[in-house]
Amino acid sequence: MSYNQLTEGQRYQIYALLKEGFSQKAIADNIECHPSTICRELKRNRGKKGYRHKQANKLAVERRQTAHKSLKLTQPVKDWISQLIEQDLSPQQAVDYLKSNKGISLHHETVYQYIYRDKANGGQLHQH
C-alpha cells in the first residue's frame, strides 16, 4: 500500500464537493482516496469558517515544514551529506559520520531520499 499526500487540487475538490453536499465517502470515491483520509483532512484543517481549501493547504504545508524529520535536514546538514557522498561514502557511511562527528542522527533512507531528490532536480550525487 502506498501513501500519497493530498494535493492542493484535491483539497479544492474536497471543498467544492462539500459545498455541493456530498458525503465524506462520496468525496473519497471521487478523488480516489480512503474515506479516513477525508475524515482526517477535515478534522485537521477545518477553521472557524469551516473547511476552506487554501487554508487547508497552508496548514498542511506548515505542518510538513515544521515536522521533526523536516527540521533535521537543514541546509548545513544537506551540505555535509553532499560533501560526504561526493567523497564516495555510502549513505550509511555518511549517516555514521554525521552521528559520530556532528552529533546528528539520521536514517540512511533519509540520505537516499535526498539523493533521489537531487537527481530529479538535475543533480549529480547519484553518480557517486
**Whole-angstrom distance, CA of residue 89 vs CA of residue 108:** 12
Residue of 1 and 48 predicted with greater confidence: 48
Q: Extract the C-alpha cell encoding 124.
A: 549529480
Domain positions in the chain: 8-66, 69-127
Residue of 63 and 86 predicted with greater confidence: 86
Looking at residue 105, its pLDDT comes to 87
| pTM exceeds 0.85, yes or no | no
